[in-house]
Amino acid sequence: MNAQLPKLKPRDVFFIVLGVCLIVLLMWYFTRFQARQLSIQDLQSNLDLSSTQLSALQEQQAKLPGLRAEVRALEEKQAVFVRALPSTVKMGQVIRDVQDSVGAAGGKLDGIAVQNGTETNLPAGVQAVNLNVNLQGRFAPIFRTLRSIETMGRFSKVTSVNMTLPAPNASDPLLNGVINMTVYTFDPAQAQPAAPTTPSATEPAPAAPAAPAGGNS
């Protein structure tokens, strides 16, 4: 005999259909709706980040004209400062000024050593020259010499001062001092950009290619 399925009541059919619908609804929620919501949240986060970056860029763009004006003002100040530097060819006058400062302060100059500076990132045409001033004297003359060198102008700076005591035989003994300073000079020739090289007028023109051998038949 064939087994017969039990006859379901309408209420049982309703609950079965309702359960199947709930299962389908849950599957749709976890597989489609929730994934879609996460994608929308990611897009919204990216949009917020892009809006923040756009606002920052617009703010920086608004400040750009002012920054350009400040750069031009700084370039003009730099040009004025550079033009006020002593010329490189007048370095001898700077050394004589140092010698006069030592003599006026009452010190004894032993010598001045001149070396090329190693500073980089200087404006075009500006050169740094190191001077090592060796002198003798008591503390007061050496100190006056130092103050005189410091007030020579904006084109120089004192980098270090060394003093030694040969023999402590008095309350105010003679000292050996070395004042290391850097002098900045300006060479207009190096400040100008190099002119592009052009072929010499006396340079011979390239020879024309040789004609093929043989004549017309």
Residue 118 CA to residue 129 CA, distance in Å, equals 8
26 token code pair: 């849950």
- 60 backbone dihedrals φ, ψ, rounded to 5°: -65, -40
Burial 121-138 (b: 16+ CB within 10 A, else e): eeeebbbbbbbbbbbbbe
Residue 141 CA to residue 105 CA, distance in Å, equals 5
Which CATH class, in words, describes the domain spanning 91-190? alpha beta
Residue 135 half-sphere exposure toward CB, CA atoms < 13 A: 28
Grouping H, G, I as helix, E, B as strand and the rest as coil, residue 90 is helix
Q: What is the pLDDT along the chain (217 residues), one digit of tens a residue?
A: 455 556 767 777 777 888 888 888 888 877 777 778 888 888 888 888 898 898 888 888 888 888 889 988 888 887 777 776 767 667 788 888 888 888 888 888 888 888 888 887 887 878 888 889 999 888 888 888 888 888 876 677 888 899 888 776 667 788 889 999 888 888 777 766 555 555 554 555 555 445 444 444 3
pLDDT at 134: 92
pLDDT at 212: 47
The three-point CA angle 109-114-119 to 5° equals 130
Partners of 116 in the β-ladder: 129
Grouping H, G, I as helix, E, B as strand and the rest as coil, residue 155 is coil
pLDDT at 178: 92
Q: How far is CA 105 from CA 43, 93, 117, 156, 214, in A?
A: 77, 18, 27, 19, 93
- 207 backbone dihedrals φ, ψ, rounded to 5°: -70, 150
The structure tokens 């709930």 sit at 22
Residue 189 CA to residue 96 CA, distance in Å, equals 24
pLDDT at 154: 61
Q: Is 19 left (phi over 0), alpha (psi -120 to 50) or beta?
A: alpha
pLDDT at 128: 85
Burial 76-103 (b: 16+ CB within 10 A, else e): eeeeeebeebbebeebeebbebbeebbe
